[in-house]
Amino acid sequence: MAGDKKQVESITSMKEDFAQWYTDVVTKAELIDYSSVKGLMVMRPYGFAIWENIQKELDSRFKATGHENVQMPMLIPESLLQKEKDHVEGFAPEVAWVTMGGSEELAERLCVRPTSETLFCEHWQHVVHSWRDLPKLYNQWCSVLRWEKTTRPFLRGREFLWQEGHTLHATAEEAMEETLRMLEIYADVAENCLAMPVIRGRKTDKEKFAGAEATYTIECMMHDHKALQGGTSHYFGDGFAKAFDICFADKQNKLTAPHQTSWGMSTRIIGGLIMTHGDDNGLVLPPKIAPVQIVIVPVASHKQGVTEAAQELCGKLKEAGLRVKLDDSDQSPGWKYAEHEMKGVPLRLELGPRDIAQGVCVMARRDNSDKVTASLEGIEKSCADMLDAIQADMYSRALENLKGNIRPAYSLEEAAEIISTKGGFIKSMWCGGLECELKMKDVAGVSSRCMPFEQEHLGDVCPICGKPAVTSIIWGVAY
């Protein structure tokens, strides 16, 4: 058995080195491989399968709310990027440029898209003329390139996959409604599919998206009590529309500028998934998003009837709509257990000669290692119920981690002491001033995560400067 466990034991313990644990998991669970260009990762089939399942959940919700998928170009002319000043300044440090086409120097530099607001605006300037053309509810699945200095798989890559929604509306009210609706879709997928509880809120002006009037976010807590921004939704007002000369004739035939939104979730959420649920044996995947929900491991498969019974069981579960794998490889059962634990398969079924004779199998949960014996009669329902229980329990544990590691702070010194000794999130009041936001970073080492929708009254004054408070706010160390 020691040899069977060798692969699992090679994972660095979370407590020993959380960063190395994370790297071990993403490589040994075969999610990614490194390429020859720093920050550009190879997403291996298992990693991509996780993204595909997240993509399906998001895409179905987008289409249910009237959005259509489109595809924009990869390259943006420099002159187009320059049209919205705040936007271009925000992305300038991360932009990669194409300056040669074949052997000839280009007349104008082309930016490899870091995001696509300018491309959508150029298109809308061509096709939007009347109120009848609105709203435009578009979404794009693509990769983007941002030349990050420090990179980590999924969490911060130079190239990453995402979806970016872009919409155009006749009124500010419609655009704001869209902004908040899409944030709630992200929260729904995070909580109900990824078992990741979130804090919904608004970003400060310092942390909002370049060119946006307001940015809204879902913030998640990882195992190590750091924050991860899970998805963002931005309200642009009519700033981009005016910069790109987009206008339409309203119902009174008056020319007016439309209001715009954008929103996105990327493969970064896979990093969050790993750090929310993983353990020292590898991945722990929520059933709703796991590429393989159930693995069947025959025991003593050389004995007559075992392989056939396992195949029959696999077919029965697949017919019930479950994602099932039969591991009939020539590896030992112990090696298979370790392999599928590493990959986070939610439920393992063990089936040997004695089990078959008794009409049962052994069900082993990945999330808590519990084992029970279940009858093969009605096994489809038993497995479905067990997967539901795993999903719910994973969410409950993550919620407990979140709620148990948010602490109030009533002074700057108290905030710094909490972070240095306990970590987690800090909640406090805030005056809204940039100087206090920067001071919290300098002294306590935390950044603002959001001003939560669920406001709390933690006093009347800002704990940093003593001036009247205008909002409660969440602070934390973020990935």
Q: What is the DSSP secondary-structure string of 359-388? A: TEEEEEETTT--EEEEESTTHHHHHHHHHH
DSSP string covering 212-223: -SEEEEEEEE-T
- Name all domains of the chain by residue range, CATH numbers in brackets: 10-277 (3.30.930.10), 294-390 (3.40.50.800), 406-476 (3.30.110.30)
pLDDT at position 81 is 87
* Cα separation, 180 vs 70, whole angstroms: 22
Tokens 């932009």, residue located:
95
Residue type, 456: E
- Which residues, listed in sequence order, are joined to residue 316 by a DSSP beta bridge? none
**pTM for the structure as a whole:** 0.95
Q: DSSP code of 149? A: S
What radius of gyration, in Å, describes the C-alpha atoms of the chain?
A: 25
What's residue 3's pLDDT? 41
Beginning with the edge strand found earlier in the chain, give each strand of the sheet holding 104-112 in spatial order. 75-77, 104-112, 96-101
- According to DSSP, residue 198 is labeled -
Q: How far apart are CA 297 and CA 339, in angstroms?
A: 11
3-state per-residue secondary structure call for 311-345: HHHHHHHHHCCCCEEECCCCCCHHHHHHHHHHCCC
Q: Residue 197: which residues within 8 A CB-CB, separation 6 or more?
A: 190, 191, 220, 221, 395, 398, 399, 402
- Residues 62 and 49: their CA atoms lie apart, in Å, by 20
The 10 Å Cβ neighbour count of residue 249 is: 14
Provide the 8-state DSSP code for 33. E
pLDDT tens sequence for the chain (479 residues)? 334 444 555 899 999 999 999 999 999 999 999 999 999 999 999 999 999 999 999 999 999 999 999 999 999 999 998 887 777 777 788 899 999 999 999 999 999 999 999 999 999 999 999 999 999 999 999 999 999 988 999 999 999 999 999 999 999 999 999 999 999 999 999 999 999 999 999 999 999 998 899 999 999 999 999 999 999 999 999 999 999 999 999 999 999 999 999 999 999 999 999 999 999 999 999 999 999 999 999 998 888 899 999 999 999 999 999 999 999 999 999 999 999 999 999 999 999 999 999 999 999 999 999 999 999 999 999 999 999 999 999 999 999 999 999 999 999 999 999 999 999 999 999 999 999 999 999 999 999 999 999 999 999 999 999 999 999 999 999 99
Separation between Cα atoms, residue 219 and residue 201, nearest integer Å: 8
DSSP-derived 3-state class of residue 439: helix
143 in helix, strand or coil? strand
Residue 3 CB: number of other CB atoms within 10 A? 10
Distance CA 110, CA 269 (A): 29
Q: Are 407 and 427 in contact (CB under 8 A)?
A: yes
Is the omega angle on the peptide bond into residue 135 within 30 degrees of 0, that is, cis?
A: yes
Phi, psi values for residue 334, rounded to 5°: -60, -40
What pLDDT, on a 0 to 100 scale, did the predictor assign at position 93? 85
Q: Give strand pairing partners of 347.
A: 294, 365
Q: Which two tokens stand for residue 381?
A: 């329902």
pLDDT for res 9: 56
Q: Which residues contact 85 (CB under 8 A, 6 or more apart)?
A: 243
C-alpha 431/C-alpha 449 separation (Å) is 15
Look at residue 430 and give its three-state secondary structure: strand
Burial grade of 293 (CB within 10 A; 0-12, 13-18, 19 or more):
buried
> How far apart are the two ends of the chain, measured CA to CA in Å?
37
Task: Write phi, then psi, for 142 (nearest 5 degrees).
Answer: -165, 180
Rounded Cα–Cα distance for residues 350 and 476 (Å): 43
Q: Are strands 104-112 and 68-69 parallel, antiparallel or unpaired?
A: unpaired
* DSSP structural state of residue 93: G
